[in-house]
Structure 1
Amino acid sequence: MQLTCRFYKNKLPETDELVMVCITQIEEMGVDTGLLEYNNTKGMILLSEISRRRIRSINKLIRVGRKEVAVVLRVDADKGYIDLSKYRASPEDIVKCEEKFFRGKTVNSILYHTAEVTGVQTNLEFEELYEKTAWYYDEKYGKQGAVYDVFVRAANNEHELDDCQIDETTRKVLINNIRHHVSSQAVKYRADVEVACYGYEGIDAVKAALKEGLKASTEEMPIKINLIAPPLYAVTATFRDRTEGINALNNVIQKIRQTIEQYRGIFKIKMEPTMVTDANDRSPQEIIKDTQVSDDESDDSDSNEGK
């Protein structure tokens, strides 16, 4: 039996909460989803909540199987309705939700492997383990996902779990799993930028700017810059510390910007430095499609305003 449990004590999300969903089906009225942090509880994104602009093709904006960040609009616990919005999630909201989901998924993996080793047989028993660990610390510190920070501290100091009401055998297995996950966990960060020069220097200016950015790369902190499709580039790095990772990418971006602007070139940040998760680790083909969709929507909006 595959053990499953929601990430948080509440069985359903609250209004205005940011949630990570997986698209399961596209209907006439909207898009069916599974709320990944709530054990795939069903929700729906109404068509009017997918985009602010007129939708030319829903299949270009939403794909079955893709993970999206959504805002909870309404929750009807009696009828089991959860209405969601995609477009109301700001870029800052998306970054926060993706990081929260990453943390919750890490905790879930730690507890799942602990349950496997200790012989947990049912989802009810798995929920009891959550109750004594993750949900206990979330409630203690008054924040969803607070347990992640507790587990990180426990990797170096197991006494962080002294107030955890689990037996000694489970505690030892839990600490071993925490140390394994935390010590092996390096996180990828990414930023997408547009770099172009339409003057005399042209491609040479772009190459010079990218090379200047790569000078920030070291053996301990390797930076990669990959072409997605001209003029779009992905700047990536892998770090254990979030602040360190974002600061490093910002440093690279600043060097690229300063150099290309010296050649009177064009620079634009398309995606701020962000932790890469399953939800936002898109292939170049997907990024190109999304860019084309954005352009199409702008054209539609402009044409509608002129009518």
Structure 2
Amino acid sequence: RRRIRSIQKLIRIGKIEPMLVLRVDKEKRYVDLSKRRVAPEDVPAFEEKFAKSKMVHSIMRHVATKFEKDMMEILQMACWPMYEQYGHAHQALKEAILKDEDIFSKLQTEVPENIKGAILEDAERKFAAQGIRFGASVDVSFSGYEGVDAVKRALKAGMLLSDEKKPEEGGAEVSITLIAPPQYNVNVKCTEKPVGQEKINAVIAAIQKAITKEGEDCGDPSAVKFSIRHEPRILGEMDENKHDDDESEASESEEEDETMGRVAGLDELADQAE
């Protein structure tokens, strides 16, 4: 067995960590988990799934409390049928809020009107508060005659890509702020990760195209300076990843006991993968 010398370097109290379930002991009620055997490429998808499920559970729990009903009754009546019909209840609620789809008519169960209204009301409030923010940092400068005015026009070209729809309605909101010349922060707020990623890339491309054209129009392309200082990312993700990397390095340098017991064949598979 590998022993843990410092539990604080492996995991922090209050921090949610993705773990691989190795074994469940129903009699003793133990769950054998492993942090090391979690595939890094699987983490984002499961974190997103966990966040969606947590949001759905919060809505159903609030509705059950509001009408003084058993939580299991609400789940069987409305929540689980949504999973069967849409793959995930979050997707069903999203269709109802953003596309005004009558999701309850497609369910195999009868849901009272007051329960429907309460679920949709809570879901609408959750989706309105929810949002993903993408951020990037670019350096833009122009040493030609137009100077700052050329930079302003280039940044405005990026701002024009901001959608008229609000983020909670499926749009993407673009904002650009000055940090210190020539550095500018580009931010995009939306509710869909693919939409935000596509939008922020389009904004950066529009700025680069506009400032390049300014150089061509004045006959001096060398007057243009454009570079991406920080690549587009979900805000807060960089610090989180750095923290995870530090913990990973610390855990690899120390001996750990990750499990309550040895699972036959699992160690051999892990050794082969390594």
Counterpart selection for 2:110 from 138, 159, 165: 165
Counterpart selection for 2:174 from 222, 226, 246: 222
* 1:95 to 1:289, Cα distance in 2 relative to 1, 3 A: closer
Gaps of 5+ in 2: 142-150, 164-172, 180-184, 208-224, 255-274
Counterparts of residues 146-161 of structure 1 (less than 5 Å): 146-155=88-97, 156-157=99-100, 159-161=102-104
Instruction: Give the CA deviation at 1:109.
Output: 2.2
Q: Within 1, Cα distance between the matches of 2:242 and 2:186? A: 16
Greater strand proportion: 1
1:180 aligns with 2:128: no
Q: Within 2, Cα distance between the matches of 1:85 and 1:238? A: 35
Find the structure with the greater CA-based Rg: 2
SS in 2 for 1:94: helix
Counterpart selection for 1:71 from 13, 20, 33: 20
Instruction: Give the CA deviation at 1:161.
Output: 0.5
Question: Does the 8 Å contact 2:174/2:188 carry over to 1?
Answer: yes
Match of 1:112 in 2: 61
Question: Does the 8 Å contact 2:11/2:247 carry over to 1?
Answer: no
Q: Within 2, Cα distance between the matches of 1:253 and 1:90? A: 32
Instruction: Give the CA deviation at 1:60.
Output: 3.0
TM-score normalised according to structure 2 size:
0.57
Question: Does the 8 Å contact 2:10/2:251 carry over to 1?
Answer: no
Counterpart selection for 2:199 from 236, 240, 248: 248
Q: How many corresponding residue pairs?
A: 213
SS in 1 for 2:102: helix
1:95 aligns with 2:38: no
Q: Please tell me the residue identity of whatever aligns with 2:191.
A: R
Q: Within 2, Cα distance between the matches of 1:167 and 1:266? A: 53
Counterpart selection for 2:188 from 225, 237, 243: 237
Question: Does the 8 Å contact 1:154/1:161 carry over to 2?
Answer: no
Instruction: Give the CA deviation at 1:179.
Output: 2.9
Question: Does the 8 Å contact 1:226/1:235 carry over to 2?
Answer: no
Q: Please tell me the residue identity of whatever aligns with 2:131.
A: V
Q: Within 2, Cα distance between the matches of 1:83 and 1:240? A: 35
Greater helix proportion: 2
Match of 2:258 in 1: none
Match of 1:5 in 2: none
Identity %: 25
Q: Please tell me the residue identity of whatever aligns with 1:161.
A: F
Q: Within 1, Cα distance between the matches of 2:20 and 2:202? A: 32
SS in 1 for 2:37: coil
* 1:83 to 1:239, Cα distance in 2 relative to 1, 3 A: same
Question: Does the 8 Å contact 2:10/2:248 carry over to 1?
Answer: no
* 1:297 to 1:118, Cα distance in 2 relative to 1, 3 A: closer
Counterparts of residues 1-307 of structure 1 (less than 5 Å): 57-120=6-69, 125-141=70-86, 143=87, 146-155=88-97, 156-157=99-100, 159-162=102-105, 163=107, 164-182=109-127, 184-190=128-134, 207-208=139-140, 216=158, 220=163, 221-222=173-174, 237-250=188-201, 273-274=233-234, 281=236, 290=244, 292=246
Question: Does the 8 Å contact 1:214/1:225 carry over to 2?
Answer: no
The C-alpha deviation readout for 1:217-249, integer Å capped at 9, x for no partner, is 56553357999xxxxxx9753202332112234
SS in 1 for 2:17: strand
Q: Within 1, Cα distance between the matches of 2:59 and 2:196? A: 24
